[in-house]
Amino acid sequence: MSWDWNYLWQVLPSVLEGLLVTFEATVLGALVAYVLGLIFAILRRSGIWVISRLVWLIVEFVRSTPLLVQLFFLFFVLPQFGVTLSPLTAGVLGLGLHYATYTSEVYRAGIEAVPKGQWEACVALSLPRTRTWLRVILPQAIPRVLPALGNYTISMFKETPLLLAIGVLDLAGAAFEVGSLNFRYVEPLTLAGVLFLVLSYPASLLVRFLERRFGLAK
């Protein structure tokens, strides 16, 4: 069977609709990952043994198990405890939680790269803890980790197709759906692949450039 351009134009609108869902899931999931990851990183440095151990355990557990299974868990198990999430919400939370375990390591590296003297100066000036974090440490740590966060955002973008397992039709899901309606997968799936590539490749070039300019010195 050969390539059919007419069919490609015919499926293009539905595939692009999936792309919008992919963007939505990526942006919302990334926001969850940025915020939750920072909370994890700060809790791990809280100095309270129980809390930092517990957070470490959660992070290692989530990071060592498949996102797909975690999505099934969020979507099919939580309703039994009275929490019913829409597919997209469950997907965003799952993606966000999974990637928060990665971003927490990124933040940790950024925080550790802040010179010790900065902490000591805060103690010497007897700045309160919140002020130390918000006005001294984080403003120095976060700009340096932005490229690494960008990298994970691109990864999340490429992992949104997993949401298809809980019924969210993202870019890949929409391509698969329209392909199975017409019993012809070649064009929509190739289109989805090309779209992923043309969007993520320039983004990763940009991140690499930022990394060289502003990233943590290695």
Partner 1 sequence: MFDNFGLFVSTIADGLLLTVEATIGGIVLATALSFLAGLAMLSRFTAVRVITRVYVEIWRGTSEVVQLFWIYFALPVLTGFQILPLWAGIFVLGLNFGAYGAEIVRGAVQSVPREQREGCVALNFSPAQRMRRVILPQAFVDMVPPFNNLFIQLLKGTALLTFITVPEMTYQASQVLVTRYTGQAALIWTTVLVFYLVLSVLITTGMKVLERRAAARVGRTPVRRTAALGGASGHSGVA
By rule CB under 8 A, what count of residues binds partner 1? 52
Nearer to partner 1, 185 or 214 (CB): 185
Nearer to partner 1, 74 or 122 (CB): 74
CB of 70 to partner 1, least distance (A): 8
Task: Tell me how far apart the alpha carbons of residues 101 and 59 are, in angstroms, rounded to a whole number.
Answer: 5
CB of 119 to partner 1, least distance (A): 19
What is residue 64's DSSP assignment? H
Map the footprint of partner 1 across residues 138-197, applying CB under 8 A.
148, 151-152, 154-155, 158-162, 164-165, 171-172, 175-176, 179, 184-186, 189-190, 192-193, 196-197
Query: Using CB under 8 A as the criterion, which residues of the chain lie in contact with partner 1 when the complex forms?
Result: 1, 60-61, 63-70, 72-73, 76-77, 80-81, 99, 102, 105-106, 109, 148, 151-152, 154-155, 158-162, 164-165, 171-172, 175-176, 179, 184-186, 189-190, 192-193, 196-197, 200-201, 204, 207
